[in-house]
């Protein structure tokens, strides 16, 4: 008897969609302060886009996990979606995906806690996004079965590394001219 591939296909589609949303969210987050498009795009608009993409990504990850529990090709117990390493299928690869999803949720929740935890701690927590991106990439490459998606992973990695390097090399990437305060006159 042949099994219905619907849930397997949905799991693959939602996994790849979640990865694209994560990548675009990371890229939007990197451009909030660096503003590679200059003053044409307001930081508040990019911040809202960043948060929206993050929320969409989390929702897609939830659907990805739910669909995996319904798939008959690989039996995935629900608890394996919450505890890294409990998956009967490629436990390390799936565990990295679970860890990435949980960290992504914590980072997203930190948006509303920014005032309470302070900007410095919030920023430190946000640096974990690079770990989330890395773990999600390894998860997709090692748990996924879509070799045709290798260019997607390569392009995502290149974009995140490139924009991160640009931001670091331009010291935040702001295109605004630096004001010379040595000539200012105190009144």
Average pLDDT along the chain, 187 residues, taken 10 residues at a time = 80 95 94 67 83 96 94 88 91 95 95 90 93 96 86 96 90 49 40
pLDDT at 173: 53
Residues whose CB is less than 8 angstroms from the CB of residue 174 and which lie 6 or more positions away in sequence, other chains included: 33, 34, 35
The structure's pTM equals 0.85
d(CA 136, CA 86): 17
Name the residue ranges covered by the structural domains of the chain. 6-171
pLDDT at 44: 81
pLDDT at 74: 81
Task: List helix spans (H) across the chain.
Answer: 6-34, 43-70, 91-117, 119-126, 128-143, 150-169
Residues whose CB is less than 8 angstroms from the CB of residue 30 and which lie 6 or more positions away in sequence, other chains included: 160, 163, 164, 167
């Amino acid at each position: 008897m042949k099994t219905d591939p619907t849930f397997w296909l949905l799991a693959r589609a939602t996994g790849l969609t979640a990865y694209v949303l994560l990548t675009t969210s990371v890229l939007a987050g990197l451009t909030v302060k660096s503003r590679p498009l200059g003053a044409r795009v307001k930081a508040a608009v990019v911040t809202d886009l960043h948060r929206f993409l993050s929320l969409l990504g989390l929702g897609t990850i939830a659907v990805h996990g739910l669909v995996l529990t319904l798939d008959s090709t690989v039996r995935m117990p629900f608890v394996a979606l919450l505890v890294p390493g409990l998956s009967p299928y490629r436990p390390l690869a799936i565990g990295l995906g679970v860890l990435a999803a949980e960290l992504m949720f914590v980072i997203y929740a930190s948006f509303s806690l920014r005032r309470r935890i302070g900007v410095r701690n919030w920023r430190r927590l946000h640096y974990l996004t690079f770990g989330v991106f890395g773990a999600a990439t390894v998860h997709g490459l090692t748990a996924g079965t879509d070799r045709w998606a290798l260019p997607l992973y390569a392009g995502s990695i290149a974009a995140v590394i490139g924009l991160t390097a640009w931001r670091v090399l331009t010291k935040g990437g702001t295109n605004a001219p630096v004001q010379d305060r040595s000539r200012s006159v105190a009144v």
